[in-house]
Structure 1
Amino acid sequence: MPRPVAHAHLGEMITETVAAHPSRPALRERVDDAWKVITYRELQERVDAVATALIERGVRHGDRVAIFSRNRPAWTVVDLAAIGIGAVVVPIYQTSTPKQARHILADSATSVVFAEGADEADRIAQVRHELPDLVDVITFDPVDGYTGYTDLTATTPDADTLTTRRAQVSGDDVASIIYTSGTTGDPKGVVLSHGAFTSEIAAVLSFFDITEHDHSLCFLPLAHALERAWTFVVLTVGAMNTYWSDARTVADAMPLARPTLMVSVPRLYEKVYSVAHEQAAASPLKNRIFTWAVATGRRAQAAGRHRGPWLNAQLRLADRLVLRNIREAIGGPKTVLASGGAPLRQEVEEFFHAAGILVCQGYGLTEAAPLISFNSPDAFRFGTVGRVMPGSEFRIGDEGEILYRGPNVMLGYHNLPDATAESMTEDGWLRTGDIGEIDADGFLTITDRMKDIIVTAGGKNVAPGPIEGELASDPLIEYAVVLGDNRPCLTVLVRPNLPGLEGFAKQAAIAFDDAHELLSHERITEEIRARIAKVSEGLANHEKIREFEVIEDGMTMENGMLTPTLKVRRRAVEQKFRDKVESMYERIRARRK
């Protein structure tokens, strides 16, 4: 069973950690080619100062405090300060557009926003007239006309007031509202309690031997439930959290920071796997050595403690030639290396395991804060997402849907009672929207997704419906199918509106014999590309369409690409046009080289 967690709410955990490890490094970031470190005692001092400043600015129990920034130590300071006095933290992805930020701030009735700098403050300023509840915008970086974060950290803590406010917070209180994409296009606010997070902390620490001597690399956005929940685990044990603001350069960060703990989405592991194989393919000799070394590592892992002296000798050679380089590519040995947010291919799991690295794949939803199941060193099975979180349960419901029930399930969707009712059964089971199977030993395998939500390889959720609707509203496009599930970015297949093409061609003085001839005309292709780009301009970075292909075939129930209710079977479409899909991603890869 889970190791008990003494604190009743998240705000108490930092106080307990400071008492046990005041001089240990807590938060670290890279500044001017050097590490800037904050100890746990210094972290507590900053949290107390910011918490006092928030109280002085009128933040009450239950008020919303938003954080609109990349990863940085100040993100966590504000997070702990706000939830510690009973405020509710509302994360906003730093890549959000003004429209997206407006929806989140308005729906949550946020009163205070911490913005990273001038760019984020400007995006809020563009929509501030639509935010009657917003009282204060504070910036982490100095910006003229705005109160700065450093002004708050200079506040003298009011110990008596803080003690009173913190005593009023309980594990049942709301800690955060995290907005996640929905099929309607507008993000839904997932309401999560303190107890939802603390139950996960207890579960993780019952399976992983994490101590104050470990250190984690925090590079997934803290607005993502996975990185945020993991940060709470790291700080509970007194380990160090290293903040890296640009996930695109995490490959540079790993050998520099050399973390012993890390959670990631599959994209990072897939990249290391791909690069290793590409380098091996440089020559026949390298490829033979690489293949032999990985196979030797697999045999050694399968034999475990029972491998003999000959296999041990082979393993030492394989390690010297190949396997240790794989470990170095992710910054050395790991206490915990986890993967979530999207499926990780089994061959990638087995590849890392051959190098002596166990990637523990897990599964979750923002609605479960986000942990549902996970593999662990003492209980793992490749190709699965592990066993259910201790103290919880899952089962397979109608149509193969995974249902989950546990202490970390959301309190509901903010301001959306009907959506909340649809997502839960009457007896308290969360409908995950995913289809899966549970084997005889309790390991869960995800086989499909019921929800029409794309999860990119970077773990970002994208609702394709609104994007497709916007594209289909163009007179040149009959319909569009957005793709990108477990891919690095989004692409789209479009079927042009033939009468619309004819009309455009006549206006543009393009000669043609019939409408089908126009489908491959360079001028038409560029016009469609421009119109797709126009739609992408108003989207967040992870929602932008990076490439497209034109298709001529129609979609019908008869050819299996539409459901009886005329919804697109996205997987069937991707399979039908797999050559075009692979061509799009090949062009994207070529541009990035």
Structure 2
Amino acid sequence: MPGPAESPANVAALRTGAGSINALIDLSCAQYSAQPAIGQALEQAISYGVLHKQILALALRLRQAGVGPGSRVAIMGENSANWVIAWLSTVRLGAAVVPVFPETPAMDLRHMLNQAGCDTLFVTGKQLDKIYDLQHQLETLITLDNAQDPLGLLSPLAFDDFLQEGYGLLKSGNQDPFPEVGPDELACILYTSGASGLPRAVMLSHANFCANAQSASGLIALAPGTVFVSVLPLSHAYEFTVGLLLPLLCGCRVAYVGRTPTPAIVQKICSHERPQVVLVAPLILEEIYKKRVMAQLENNRTMGFFCRFDSIRKLFFRKAGLRLMDFFGGRLRLLGIGGAALNPEIERFLLQAGLPFVVGYGVSEASPLLAAGPVGDPGIAPGSTGKAVRNVRLRIDNPDPETGIGEIQAQGPNIMQGYLNDPEATKAALIEDGWLRTGDLGRLDEAGNLFICGRLNSVIVLASGENIYPEAIEHKLNAMPFVQESLVRENMGILEALVYPDADWLDSRTRGDHRAKRQEYLNRLLNEMRREVNESLPISSRINRVLVWPEPFSKTATHRIKRFLYTL
């Protein structure tokens, strides 16, 4: 199959700089044509040359279907090479992509498609049942995995057939040139995670994404052929920019997990792919830490006793770190952690274990990366998210004179154009000189390290006037082996903690016990936990009551709890 150099005249001329995503892809596919680019984990990847041809072919077929400048195309499905090709083909035409998290309910999907004005949708077979009430407003429905509707209510087009029709158009050679897409043109309408309320539609340009990918390239040197394993959803800006555009910029290969990333699945895939870079959310690391590190201490009382001594504990963690390197395939150069706050106990373990990790911070409105690393900088302070990435400025607005904590604000070429159809929210978020109000609280130290303290709208203000940052308390609760997750809230002037217990952990210790005895055991653990955690907290931040929550908390795409659902 011919490479990019043999492509028809409808491809924009290669430019020295990548001001648009289309130019970035053209440059990379020309430079790394024979290198493997993207593919499903455990399968052979397609090359950059083939990727380029598939993008052009699919774009021609989409144009035939009516997609063009100003169109909006939605993509809803699990990570795959076809997902990526659909995204890149859409923006090739000057249209904008609306990526939808696969777990999005049908009602929310309807709202997104209506608000964004989408009449073309790429979807996987798992999601077809959400489309039944939407089929009347969709002109084109394509299944990324070639699935058909088992009920026969829908007649979707199979991706492979759609692509082959595009190849026919490409081979004919009698096609008009693709439109020239400028850096400031809209590339994506990205719905925020909605951790603190209803999601907003963030408008991001080609220049926003390209600038942020270039900024991310300053975190670590990436050689062509470097392997990324993609775990997080591509519908989130963190994975899209740092887990896709960055590796494509540098000629790397991306392997997609394409399913729920349980520790067993991640280990299986990493043992085969042997990645150098993996991006994860803190929740994945917390599960690995509890189930594969701390469980060993609990099951070995002698080891648990000696690990109370710092020197022995460091030695144990170092050995555990070597095992985790094997867990990730043995070649790991960077474990990128982002999307939510990292528990300080997990960070201490990673440091003592010697794993090559970086904690990052960003928001969707910034495409998304604002601070991280860089890798190898000895000035990165533990507990921080590192320093502002290249070409990004950070400041703290109205800092508390005692703590230095205030709202984090950011400025740079990666900052969004605004919120779709919401001028008031845009005006509130984008203030003078293009500074973005992130809505997050934090502080900067003298070296420029950014410390995140929580969301501005999740701070609990007590009657005494004191500010309580619930995330800091939750980190302490979540460090307990029997706690799966927790949420701290105010209830009639007191602090209470909602705790969702780890059923597997409890079962292993109460097997054979009747229900009343199991409940008694759990209540004792909760009381001991409350006493222990309160001893480490100021009096104003102490928990008055602990309640067992019966089910997992509702979360965003990056596993942040939707706090607004549990506020009284």
Could you state the TM-score of these two structures normalised by the residue count of structure 2?
A: 0.73
- Relative to structure 1, the CA distance from residue 35 to residue 290 in structure 2 (aligned partners, 3 Å threshold; closer, same or farther) is farther
Alignment counterpart, residue 547 of structure 2, candidates 546, 571, 580: 580
Alignment counterpart, residue 331 of structure 2, candidates 322, 330, 333: 333
The aligned amino acid for 1:580 is L
Q: Deviation string for 1:200-252 (max 9, x for gaps)?
A: 12112123111112111111111111111121101111111110122342542
Q: Do the aligned partners of 2:443 and 2:452 also contact (CA within 8 Å) in 1?
A: yes
The aligned amino acid for 2:128 is A
- Relative to structure 1, the CA distance from residue 27 to residue 291 in structure 2 (aligned partners, 3 Å threshold; closer, same or farther) is farther
Q: Deviation string for 1:62-109 (max 9, x for gaps)?
A: 211110101111100111111122110100111111101001100000
Residue in structure 2 matched with residue 541 of structure 1 by the alignment: none
3-state DSSP class of the match of 1:211? coil
Alignment counterpart, residue 64 of structure 1, candidates 66, 72, 78: 72
Matched ranges for 1:252-401 at <5 A: 252-253=265-266, 254-274=270-290, 275-287=292-304, 295=311, 322-379=320-377, 380-398=380-398, 400-401=406-407
Q: Do the aligned partners of 2:317 and 2:353 also contact (CA within 8 Å) in 1?
A: no
Residue in structure 2 matched with residue 527 of structure 1 by the alignment: none
Work out the CA distance in 2 between the residues paired with 1:392 and 1:209.
19
Residue in structure 2 matched with residue 521 of structure 1 by the alignment: none
Larger CA deviation: 573-582 vs 82-91: 573-582
Work out the CA distance in 1 between the residues paired with 2:49 and 2:203.
31
Q: Do the aligned partners of 2:293 and 2:320 also contact (CA within 8 Å) in 1?
A: no
Larger CA deviation: 571-580 vs 418-427: 571-580
Residue in structure 2 matched with residue 561 of structure 1 by the alignment: none
Residue in structure 2 matched with residue 153 of structure 1 by the alignment: 163
The aligned amino acid for 1:270 is E
Work out the CA distance in 2 between the residues paired with 1:5 and 1:453.
47
Residue 187 of structure 1, CA deviation: 2.2
Work out the CA distance in 1 between the residues paired with 2:323 and 2:196.
46
Residue 411 of structure 1, CA deviation: 0.3
The aligned amino acid for 1:150 is D
Larger CA deviation: 242-251 vs 443-452: 242-251
- Relative to structure 1, the CA distance from residue 575 to residue 221 in structure 2 (aligned partners, 3 Å threshold; closer, same or farther) is farther
Q: Do the aligned partners of 1:62 and 1:87 also contact (CA within 8 Å) in 2?
A: yes
- Relative to structure 1, the CA distance from residue 329 to residue 484 in structure 2 (aligned partners, 3 Å threshold; closer, same or farther) is farther
1:25 to 2:31 alignment: no
The aligned amino acid for 1:218 is S
Q: What stretches of structure 1 of length at least 5 have no aligned partner?
A: 299-314, 455-480, 497-548, 550-570, 587-593
- Relative to structure 1, the CA distance from residue 452 to residue 64 in structure 2 (aligned partners, 3 Å threshold; closer, same or farther) is farther
Work out the CA distance in 2 between the residues paired with 1:149 and 1:27.
17
Q: What stretches of structure 2 of length at least 5 have no aligned partner?
A: 1-14, 150-154, 400-405, 461-469, 479-483, 493-522, 524-537, 554-568
Q: Do the aligned partners of 1:10 and 1:198 also contact (CA within 8 Å) in 2?
A: yes
1:224 to 2:236 alignment: yes
Residue in structure 2 matched with residue 138 of structure 1 by the alignment: 142
1:107 to 2:107 alignment: no
- Compute the RMSD of aligned alpha carbons: 3.5
Residue in structure 2 matched with residue 233 of structure 1 by the alignment: 246
Work out the CA distance in 1 between the residues paired with 2:542 and 2:16.
47
- Relative to structure 1, the CA distance from residue 404 to residue 483 in structure 2 (aligned partners, 3 Å threshold; closer, same or farther) is closer
Q: Do the aligned partners of 1:64 and 1:109 also contact (CA within 8 Å) in 2?
A: yes
Sequence identity (%): 28
- Relative to structure 1, the CA distance from residue 207 to residue 584 in structure 2 (aligned partners, 3 Å threshold; closer, same or farther) is closer
The aligned amino acid for 1:136 is T
Residue 185 of structure 1, CA deviation: 4.8
Q: Deviation string for 1:378-412 (max 9, x for gaps)?
A: 32221001111221211111361111111111100
- Relative to structure 1, the CA distance from residue 213 to residue 296 in structure 2 (aligned partners, 3 Å threshold; closer, same or farther) is farther
Residue in structure 2 matched with residue 457 of structure 1 by the alignment: none
Residue in structure 2 matched with residue 554 of structure 1 by the alignment: none
Q: Do the aligned partners of 1:83 and 1:89 also contact (CA within 8 Å) in 2?
A: yes
3-state DSSP class of the match of 1:45? helix
The aligned amino acid for 1:384 is S
1:444 to 2:483 alignment: no
Q: Do the aligned partners of 1:5 and 1:202 also contact (CA within 8 Å) in 2?
A: no
Residue in structure 2 matched with residue 125 of structure 1 by the alignment: 132
Residue 276 of structure 1, CA deviation: 0.5
Q: Do the aligned partners of 1:482 and 1:493 also contact (CA within 8 Å) in 2?
A: no
Q: Do the aligned partners of 2:238 and 2:368 also contact (CA within 8 Å) in 1?
A: yes
Work out the CA distance in 2 between the residues paired with 1:251 and 1:572.
41
Matched ranges for 1:450-465 at <5 A: 450-452=456-458
Q: Do the aligned partners of 1:219 and 1:250 also contact (CA within 8 Å) in 2?
A: no
Matched ranges for 1:238-257 at <5 A: 238-253=251-266, 254-257=270-273
Q: Do the aligned partners of 1:102 and 1:127 also contact (CA within 8 Å) in 2?
A: yes
The aligned amino acid for 1:427 is D
Residue 175 of structure 1, CA deviation: 0.8
Residue in structure 2 matched with residue 421 of structure 1 by the alignment: 427
Q: Do the aligned partners of 2:373 and 2:387 also contact (CA within 8 Å) in 1?
A: yes
- Relative to structure 1, the CA distance from residue 241 to residue 5 in structure 2 (aligned partners, 3 Å threshold; closer, same or farther) is farther
Q: Deviation string for 1:443-469 (max 9, x for gaps)?
A: 111123113499xxxxxxxxxxxxxxx
Could you state the TM-score of these two structures normalised by the residue count of structure 1?
A: 0.70
Work out the CA distance in 1 between the residues paired with 2:373 and 2:182.
30
- Relative to structure 1, the CA distance from residue 25 to residue 577 in structure 2 (aligned partners, 3 Å threshold; closer, same or farther) is farther
The aligned amino acid for 2:112 is I
Q: Do the aligned partners of 1:349 and 1:359 also contact (CA within 8 Å) in 2?
A: no
Q: Do the aligned partners of 1:49 and 1:152 also contact (CA within 8 Å) in 2?
A: no
Residue in structure 1 matched with residue 206 of structure 2 by the alignment: 194
Residue 347 of structure 1, CA deviation: 2.9
Q: Do the aligned partners of 2:96 and 2:188 also contact (CA within 8 Å) in 1?
A: yes
Residue 262 of structure 1, CA deviation: 1.2
- Relative to structure 1, the CA distance from residue 185 to residue 267 in structure 2 (aligned partners, 3 Å threshold; closer, same or farther) is closer
